[in-house]
Amino acid sequence: MLNADGLFLVGALVLLFAAEDHLIFISLLTPT
């Protein structure tokens, strides 16, 4: 079982990866 700190770290990593994926997706959609 993960303790609170481990769960927080995993959640933060998942959010970070999701944010990066969204940023890459948005940058691909919007021509600059």
Instruction: Enter the pTM of the model.
Output: 0.52
Rounded CA-CA distance 12/5 in Å is 11
**For position 10, what pLDDT does the model report?**
92
Q: What are phi and psi of 3, to 5 degrees?
A: -85, 180
> Which pLDDT score is estimated for 8?
93
CB atoms within 10 A of CB 22: 10
Q: Residue 10: which residues within 8 A CB-CB, separation 6 or more?
A: 2
Contact by Cβ (8 Å): 2, 10: yes
Which pLDDT tens digit goes with each residue over 1-32? Answer: 678 898 999 999 998 888 888 888 888 887 76
Structural contact between residues 9 and 1, judged by C-beta atoms closer than 8 angstroms: no
- Per-residue pLDDT at 1: 61
